[in-house]
Amino acid sequence: MIVTVTLNPAIDEEYVVPEFRPGGWFRVSRVQRSPGGKGINVSLILKQLGVETAAMGFLAGFSGEYVRDVLRKAQITTNFLHVRGETRTNVYIVDEVGKVETGLAELGPYISEDEIARFLSNYERILKRTELVVLGGSLPPGVPQDFYCELIRLAKQREIPTLIDAAGAPLLAALDEGPTYAKVDQRFMANYEGVALNSLDNLIEAVQRVHSHGVEWVIASYRTYGNVFCTHEGVFLAEFDRKGIVSMFGSGEALIAGLILGGRERMETKDRIVFGMAAALENALHVEKGIRDREAVERLIPRIRFERLL
């Protein structure tokens, strides 16, 4: 079973607004509400691909009950710890004319030391029946910045691979513990390296250094519609064009879900990357997060440009 950990879930509200600009008053042409957080998004998309998952983390208040209810209706196993406060709301505004996306993210409820300890107890129990752990997103107030390190270490003790998709200090700390997979963005890599990654060659060197520290797969965003993949088989670039794209919101998690499915089905590295990128593209073609079905993903495979860099 795939376990996704979302320590700071959210309700995602996505608004499509023609010609959005600050200071104005607009009528929304479309709106979409859904449970959010990187791990939760991965669980939802894996379910759409026919893969069973369990989602865990912290939930609070009325919003937390909404998240739990939607996941259960989607037949996703939930193992969340209910805490005081209110699960946050994130707002995304998509300008369908200017093709610009704006996001507002709340902090989330405060998590106490006792709640952290209870979560760790649940986590260690669920590891007994886990094949892969996906760690995603920000940390709520009260959770130590190196907390992902502890979760990776506990999984490694049981020889369970881990995948992390995060940013900032939590990701920096996690990389030191050596996750199996790490998804990062180009801006983070520039900060991590301390240099401007304004060329593909510089980005390749950066992901290779992360890979050399024990991360088997390093996935780094490149421009808007591409990713660089550094694996034990080489370094690859995969991209798609912007034709028909409505919103990239959730496409990173669709990529991860596609890569996970490819790994479970023992696809060759190229096929695994291309399938993951096709899932990311399928997600981007509509306002709703996620994919329509596997067949919709497979139809987009011809639109993925793939090349070996090294």
pLDDT at 95 over 90: no
Give me the CATH code for the 1-108 domain, please. 3.40.1190.20
pLDDT at 164 over 80: yes
CA distance 263 to 28: 40
State pLDDT tens for residues 166-207: 988 999 899 989 999 999 877 777 776 666 666 788 889 889
Confidence of residue 151 (pLDDT cuts 50, 70, 90): very high
**φ and ψ of 245, to 5 deg:** -70, 130
Contact partners, residue 5, CB within 8 Å, separation at least 6: 39, 56, 57, 123, 133, 134, 135, 136, 151
Q: What is the mean pLDDT of the chain?
A: 93
**Structural contact between residues 93 and 101, judged by C-beta atoms closer than 8 angstroms:** yes
State pLDDT tens for residues 198-242: 678 888 988 998 999 899 999 999 988 999 999 999 999 999 999
**Structural contact between residues 53 and 2, judged by C-beta atoms closer than 8 angstroms:** yes
Portion of the chain with pLDDT greater than 90, in percent? 77
Q: Which residue has the higher pLDDT, 46 or 27?
A: 46
Which residue has tokens 């798609």?
240
Q: Where do the structural domains in the chain lie, given as residue ranges? A: 1-108
CA distance 239 to 223: 9
CA nearest neighbour of 283 among 275, 292, 274? 292
CA distance 236 to 307: 6
